[in-house]
Structure 1
Amino acid sequence: MNVELKKRSNLILGVLFFGWMVSYIDRTAISLALISIGKDLSLSATELGFVLSAFFFGYAVMQIPGGWLTDKYGPIKLLIGAVVFWSVFTAFTGLAWSLTSLLLIRFLFGIGEGGYPAASTKSISIYFQKEQRTKAQATMMSSNMIGSAIAPIICAPLLLVMDWRHVFFLISGLGFIFVIALLWSTKNAQTFIAEERKESEEKGSFRKVLKNTYLMRVLFIFFFINIANWGLSSWMPTYLMQVHGLDLKNVGFIAAIPAIFAAIGMIISGRIISKLGGRSKYGVIFGAVVLAICLYLMSTAVSVAIVITYQSIAFIFVSFMASFIFTTPHRVVSQQNVGTAFGVVNFGGQAAGIISPTIMGYLINVSGGSFKTSFIFLAIMCVIAAVIAVTLPVNHQQQTNIKSVEGY
């Protein structure tokens, strides 16, 4: 890759990175505002769990259609449409007047955000050469963790000085900044990569993707890991405030610490995985077990410092597993099917988000406000993910055989 092409590609990577950060700021804000929303709309923990799950339901529903549409029509149109759509419903969140209205708004918000993952991944396959894609994908996905770190720092102080509704109005503007940056950056890059982009915009095959058994195993690993990940992330601010007595301002800054560790882990793990290939499965197994142990220890921790230490350790390994999962489409399917493949895998992970916050809310309710049972539930999900990871083939030849059998 020549210097000018690399510069243009990295510019687009930066814009995609920013888009992911915006998506995480927009979706994380509701976890910080959860107690205020509950008081304002008179919602129980179980009902708030439904609100959190409504986003994931819409997000999961859009994963496969989003991947297919990206492969068929190209990523730029999908990126613009998705970001504008979710930004509108970020603002609409501030207009919610009842449980029903909030559920509908968050579902539609999830539909909007659901178009972004496959389209951004497809963009990596278009604007980066093959040997650069794993690193670029991992770097882009580290934005998830940085967005999670920045969201509390931005939103918590805002929630202290203004009504939660006004916070959603304010952050909705970030998406429109992204759209302007995307149009500018991709226009400048078109001349340099027209041939690769033309190749990548060939129609993908949904049937081929579904018949790739390696990809399906990764989907189920992602499902069980994300039950733990989203269950923890969705309820962590409430846990810190109700169990450990922190105020919203302190929660905002403390919650950023594990996310920073996760972002560093994501960037480093992308480079490790590009070298290890199929042997990375051992890191997934080890990471899932460590995550399970940390979740259990968090349930017994008596101080905030210990809780955050365990969460930071857990998130480093979550990053490795996420990096492995997010880069899998680039490694095991043909380029024209990357968008569809990512959509299918991400559907598994986001489907977990539909049930996890609701189950957490239910377990908290029936336990009289205790979080211990829910943390143990999340730990069990991690163990199941580790067992599935054991079945993944190790060497490149085994993965190639899977693909050739399924028609790749």
Structure 2
Amino acid sequence: MHEQITEVASNDPARTSPRRTKVRWLIAGLLGVGLIIAFIDRANLSVAMPTIGKEFGIGPWMQSVLLGAWAWTYAVFQLPAGWIADKLGPRTAYAAAVVWWSACTAAVALVRGVGTLFGLRLLLGIGEAPVMPSSAKAVSEWFPKRERAIASGIYGAGSEAGAAIAVPLVSLIIVAVGWRGAFVATGALGFVWAAAWLWIYRSPSEQRWTSQAEVDHIATNGGDEAESEPQERSLPWAHLFRHGTIWGMFFGYICRNFLNYFFITWYPTYLVQEQGFSTMDMAKYGAIPGLVAILGNFAGGWFSDHLVRRGTPLSLARKIPILIGTLGSGTVAFAVFAPDAATALVLLSVSFASASFASAAIFSLPIDVAPGPGNVSSIFAIQNTGSQIGGLLSPIVIGFLWAATGSFVVPLVAMGVLCLAGAAVYAFVVKVEPLPSEAEPTVTAG
């Protein structure tokens, strides 16, 4: 499955124990915390923007550009970041990325104008580019097929948790020490995580806390030798783009992530402008959709793996939660009819939780369709490039529509339509099976 490491000393108590250890779940938890920090550092500007906008005299259009700036470089650097993660492995690639973006986050405390802030947000996007490809690579190394969706759900929940935590956390820090101190505090989190990651993360056969039983469990796909991972037979990087499934994953994620990035860019402004929230109101209630979405992430991952364990074909076990989630997320459009803030929050929570219900299965797709382990991060990077194109377009389009119409009615309806379009792409274009390893693939829908 992956490179084999020299035999561990027989006196290692963890390795010789007959018990199956659960270190892989610690790895999933670390990945989740890493994503929480990444999303806090993406969303902190949206929370601070009302204050920064007043201080620097930034209008709505420039605010939308600043809020989405990190996604520009994040999208551009996805493909090279995926290639680097495949070559260097998740331990090195992820740690270096966190140190980079944490330094950029803390440096925002020093800005004195729009230009410097814009530059630092572009650098933030470069630093965060390896996050998702590295996470997918780590899951492919540490989890058998029948546990990958819930493992992906655990780390994927970090996106919703980070977006949810950022609103009250950054709001409270701003109240206590100002917006500059908030960026220093959130930037410091990443340095602590990077140190823990470098100390703990190794491949399963190198990690001294794992028992041989756990290593075997991973290598044999949960004890089923018939489903053990194929040996390395990766496609050349450029050949990946010859497959319809890859393009389906790319375009499907553009549609889906348009909604998600609303919650880490314009959502606080929506609460203030459309629902009349104060900063303290955001600290009290703003995290509700994100917290509900965390549960959706876990539920979707558990459900997909449950279907696999029951013998459901892998294609259906992934597509069913994806379709339930992407169709359900379209309820965001009904928020335009909400008679009050409470109802709007309920509808937004249902929408965000539905999108998250699909996340774990979507995150598992690159592992499921990769012809060999050497393509996992690269395929995830292609998929995530679509995600970030959606993330790039979302704040700009929503900001334009809001400025043009004076309300969030049209943006919310547009997000609902895109959610339905994403469901159609996943249903009819994406085929959940390993890509052919031959050099003559054909572009087909499935």
- 1:247-277 deviations in whole A, cap 9, x for unaligned? 1122123121111111111111112223253
Identify the residue that residue 329 of structure 2 maps to in structure 1: 291
Alpha-carbon offset, residue 202 of structure 1: 9.0
Q: How does 1:73-84 map to 2 (within 5 A)?
A: 73-84=88-99
The answer to whether the 8 A contact 2:244-2:429 is kept is no
Distance in 2 (alpha carbons) for counterparts of 1:125 and 1:281: 19
Residue 365 of structure 1: which of 378, 393, 403 is its match?
403
Aligned counterparts of 1:287 and 1:129: Cα–Cα separation in 2:
24
Please name the residue that 1:7 is paired with: 22
Q: 1:124 & 1:284 partners in 2: Cα distance?
A: 19
- DSSP-derived class of the 1:172 partner: helix
Rate the CA distance shift 1:93–1:260 in 2: closer, same or farther, 3 A: same
Indicate the residue corresponding to 2:246 in structure 1: 215
Instruction: Give 1:73 shift.
Output: 1.7
2: CA distance, partners of 1:311 / 1:94: 32
Partner residue of 2:359? Answer: 322
The answer to whether the Cα contact below 8 Å between 1:71 and 1:202 also exists between their aligned partners in 2 is no
Given that 1:134 and 1:330 are in contact with CA atoms closer than 8 Å, whether structure 2 keeps it comes out as no
Contact 1:270 1:323 (8 Å CA) reproduced? yes
Q: CA deviation at 1:400?
A: 5.1
Q: Which residue of 2 aligns with 1:348?
A: 386
1:268 aligns with 2:299: yes
Question: Hey, what's the Cα distance between the residues in 2 that align with 1:4 and 1:174?
Answer: 34
Question: How much has 1:393 moved relative to structure 2?
Answer: 5.9
Aligned to 2:236: 205
* Structure 1 residue 105, shift from structure 2 partner: 0.8
What are the residue-to-residue correspondences of 1:136-285 with 2, within 5 Å? 136-186=151-201, 190-191=206-207, 205-274=236-305, 275=307, 276=312, 277-279=314-316, 280-285=318-323
Residue identity in the other structure for 1:308: L
Q: Relative to 1, partners in 2 of residues 1:4 and 1:255: Cα closer, same or farther, differing over 3 Å?
A: farther
Q: CA deviation at 1:155?
A: 1.3
* Alignment partners' CA distance in 2, 1:237 and 1:3: 51
Match of residue 17 from structure 1: 32
**Displacement of 1:227 after TM fit?**
1.4
In structure 2, the CA distance between the partners of 1:231 and 1:152, relative to structure 1 (3 Å rule), is: closer
Q: Secondary structure at the match of 2:265?
A: helix
Give the AA of the match of 1:150: I
For structure 1, the residue ranges without an aligned partner over 5 or more in a row are: none
The answer on whether the counterparts of 2:36 and 2:159 sit within 8 Å (CA) in structure 1 is yes
User: 1:71 touches 1:204 (CA, 8 Å); kept in 2?
Assistant: no
Write the letter of the residue equivalent to 2:196: A
| Superposed displacement of residue 389, structure 1 | 2.6
Choose the corresponding residue for 2:139, options 124, 133, 139: 124
Letter in 2 for 1:331: D
Give the drift of 1:43: 0.7
Residue of structure 2 equivalent to 1:338: 376
Give the stretch that moved more between structures: 83-92 or 208-217: 208-217
Structure 1's 217 and 402: CA in aligned 2 closer, same or farther, altered over 3 A? farther
Alignment pair present for 1:110 and 2:125: yes
**Secondary structure at 1:97's aligned position in 2?**
coil
Provide the C-alpha distance between the structure 1 equivalents of 2:20 and 2:98, rounded to a whole number of angstroms. Answer: 26
Distance of 1:303 and 1:341 partners within structure 2: 43
The separation in 1 between residues aligned to 2:422 and 2:174, in whole angstroms, is 36
Which runs of structure 2 are paired with 1:386-405 in the superposition (5 Å)? 386-392=423-429, 399=433
Q: Distance in 2 between matches of 1:208 and 1:54?
A: 30
RMSD between superposed Cα atoms in Å: 2.6
Does the C-alpha gap of structure 1 residues 328 and 163 become closer, same or farther in structure 2, counting only changes over 3 Å?
same
Q: Does 1:406 align with 2:417?
A: no
Q: Distance in 2 between matches of 1:378 and 1:402?
A: 35
Structure 1 residue identity aligned to 2:269:
T
Q: Cα distance 1:354–1:4, how it changes in 2: closer, same or farther (>3 A)?
A: farther
- Conservation of the 8 A alpha-carbon contact between 2:93 and 2:134: yes
CA displacement, residues 118-149 of structure 1 (integer Å, 9 cap, x when unaligned)? 11211111222343323212221112112222
TM score, norm. by length of structure 2: 0.83
Please tell me whether the aligned partners of residues 256 and 422 of structure 2 are also in contact (alpha carbons under 8 angstroms).
Answer: yes
Residues 129, 393 of structure 1: alpha-carbon distance in 2 compared, 3 angstrom cutoff = closer
**In structure 1, C-alpha distance between the alignment counterparts of 2:182 and 2:233, rounded to whole Å:** 41
Alpha-carbon offset, residue 286 of structure 1: 4.3
Identify if the C-alpha distance between structure 1 residues 26 and 233 changes in structure 2 by more than 3 Å, giving closer, same or farther.
closer
- List aligned pairs for 1:380-391, cutoff 5 A: 380-391=417-428
**Residue 376 (structure 1) aligned with residue 419 (structure 2):** no
Report how far residue 201 of structure 1 moved.
9.2
CA–CA distance in 2 between the matches of 1:41 and 1:309?
34
Cα 1:184/1:61, change in 2 over 3 Å: same
TM (norm. structure 1) is 0.90
Contact persistence 2:234–2:374 (CA under 8 A): yes
Q: CA deviation at 1:315?
A: 1.4
Q: Which amino acid aligns with 1:373?
A: V
Superposed displacement of residue 8, structure 1? 2.4
Distance 2:81 2:19 in 1: 31
Larger radius of gyration: 2
Unaligned runs of 5+ in 2: 1-14, 220-229
